[in-house]
Amino acid sequence: MTDSKRLKSQAAFAKAKRLIPGGVNSPARAFHGVGGEPIFISHASGQYLFDIDGNRYLDYIGSWGPMILGHAQPQVIEAIRIAAEKGTSFGAPTENESRLAELIMAAVPSIERVRLVSSGTEATMSAIRVARGATGREKIIKFAGCYHGHVDSLLVAAGSAAATLGVPDSPGVTAGNTKDTIVLEYNDPQSIVDTFRQFPTEIAAIILEPIVGNMGTVVPTPEFLKALRQETTQHGAVLIFDEVMTGFRVAYGGAQSLFGIEPDMTTLGKIVGGGLPLAAYGGKASIMDNVMPAGKVYQAGTLSGNPLATAAGATTLEILRDDPPYEYLETQASRLAAGLKNAADAAGFPSQMQRMGSMMTLFFNEAPVVDWPTANRSDRKRFGKYFWGLMEEGVYMPCSQFEALFFSRTHRPEDIDETIDAAHRVLARME
């Protein structure tokens, strides 16, 4: 697809840049990781996106994860329509909030109480506050390469040592906001042990993606998971799994159900809202009962539990529960992962395919990716050529080497074959 076939998108982006910082409302949409300009979407259906120039793409982003049932799923759309006809917001409780809460708690047994919010950032921010309030402690541990939204205390970069106090990673985030954030390397169990030895009674919580999607797909080692649970339990810290991405994606019960480990708190988003702005945080009753009005930890939101979002989310979870797609997704994901890896191998490019269920990343990297330092050695330029080559073939992949791709139950086996064939053509003509 040449630039001449994206003229309307180019004009729309030029206009947007005059109105919106950088022309986008989230940096992930800006295509900075691959160069060029973003396309503007007109509509979507099933496994396809359509841009305003009329081009059709096989979609492997799925709104960055939520669209596990495909775009414009009829039952979800009907649920939103019915809810909208009754009113779009009330600022008062509705039964659908409890309906969604029950579905979440039934799917994720570690969640004994749950609070609905409007974004993943809000969920992680609130979970950290509640953990601090419940423990009376201030320090938290996060891991380099894990993204938990644009929360001030979590926008920090790792230093050179194994355990370093966080340094702000964005203008506008003060050193005071990050002074109690400790950044460790993912999949390094000894660093967890050493940090608790250094601060045995000061750490309120550890937060992590139990399967990372924000430096590309990275899977935790059993030793890493064991250290997380043992050290937090021994020292009275709260273990928080950020399952905004993995919840209801890698399994109905999330990553924690695959690993057989129960965190103390969990954050959810994306699929839990059925594609509408909704997220949640929850956990043990003894922790969650600290949240106002049950307790003293303040958190509120005017649009929390929005009736359209709860209708979409509850309907999505009920479909996933009653007609689970996970076996089908696993089968097609295995085929897709093998096919993309084979295409890279055939072209002679060093690569690593890392996958968990229907989320995966093809890293242009000579070594397996286990943490941010290894991820950071990936060939960004090669990935950019791969991305744009697939766009020309009508395949829309994530616009960064450091994002996971997702697909839906509406992707047919022939779509997977088409994608693999396209990858072979693109990689064969790349330098």
| Domains and their CATH numbers in the chain | 3-60+325-429 (3.90.1150.10), 74-322 (3.40.640.10)
Q: How far apart are CA 346 and CA 337, in angstroms?
A: 14
Indicate the DSSP class of residue 71: B
Per-residue burial over 277-286, b if 16 or more Cβ lie within 10 Å, else e, is bbbbbbbbee
Q: For position 168, what pLDDT does the model report? A: 59
- Which neighbouring-strand residues pair with 265? 240, 283
Mean pLDDT over 79-94 rounds to 97
Long-range contacts of 79-82 (CB under 8 A, 24+ apart): 79/274, 79/311, 79/312, 79/314, 79/315, 80/276, 80/308, 80/311, 80/312, 82/311
Q: How far apart are CA 275 and CA 309, in angstroms?
A: 8
Nearest Cα to Cα of residue 69 among 424, 406, 425: 406
Q: How far is CA 308 from CA 76, 165, 279, in A?
A: 10, 41, 13
Mean pLDDT over 93-111 rounds to 98
The alpha carbon dihedral of 427, 345, 63, 59 has a sign of positive
Q: How confident is the model at residue 346 (pLDDT cuts 50, 70, 90)?
A: very high
In degrees rounded to 5, what are phi and psi of residue 234?
-65, -35
Q: How confident is the model at residue 169 (pLDDT cuts 50, 70, 90)?
A: low
Q: For position 155, what pLDDT does the model report? A: 79
pLDDT at 159 over 60: no
Residue 142 appears among annotated catalytic residues: no
Nearest Cα to Cα of residue 266 among 286, 296, 288, 251: 288
Q: Which residue has the higher pLDDT, 365 or 173?
A: 365
pLDDT at 21 over 60: yes
| Catalytic one of 48, 147, 186, 326 | 147
* Of 25-34, 208-217, 246-255, the least confident: 25-34
178-213 pLDDT per residue, tens: 889 999 999 999 999 999 999 999 999 999 999 999
Q: For position 163, what pLDDT does the model report? A: 34
Mean pLDDT over 368-375 rounds to 96
pLDDT at 161 over 60: no
Residue 326 appears among annotated catalytic residues: no
Q: How confident is the model at residue 273 (pLDDT cuts 50, 70, 90)?
A: very high
pLDDT at 311 over 90: yes
Q: How confident is the model at residue 18 (pLDDT cuts 50, 70, 90)?
A: very high
Q: How confident is the model at residue 166 (pLDDT cuts 50, 70, 90)?
A: very low
Determine what percent of the chain is predicted with pLDDT higher than 90. 90
Give the SS3 label for residue 335.
helix
Q: Where are the beta strands (DSSP E) in 41-130?
A: 41-45, 48-51, 56-59, 113-117
Contacts of 226 (CB under 8 A, 6+ apart): 189
Q: For position 157, what pLDDT does the model report? A: 58
Question: In terms of DSSP bridges, do strands 167-168 and 156-157 run parallel, antiparallel, or are they unpaired?
Answer: antiparallel
Q: How confident is the model at residue 172 (pLDDT cuts 50, 70, 90)?
A: confident
Q: For position 33, what pLDDT does the model report? A: 87
Give the SS3 label for residue 78.
helix
| Catalytic one of 51, 53, 180, 242 | 242
Task: Please answer whether residues 429 and 389 qualify as being in contact, where contact means their C-beta atoms are separated by less than 8 angstroms.
Answer: yes
Q: For position 431, what pLDDT does the model report? A: 83
**Rg of the chain over all Cα atoms, to the nearest angstrom:** 21
Task: Please answer whether residues 391 and 277 qualify as being in contact, where contact means their C-beta atoms are separated by less than 8 angstroms.
Answer: no
Mean pLDDT over 215-225 rounds to 97
The alpha carbon dihedral of 171, 173, 174, 179 has a sign of negative
Mean pLDDT over 209-236 rounds to 97
Mean pLDDT over 318-325 rounds to 98
Nearest Cα to Cα of residue 114 among 249, 284, 261: 284
Mean pLDDT over 309-335 rounds to 98
Nearest Cα to Cα of residue 206 among 257, 242, 152: 242
Q: For position 162, what pLDDT does the model report? A: 32
Q: For position 3, what pLDDT does the model report? A: 72
Angle between helices 222-235 and 189-198 (to 10 degrees): 20
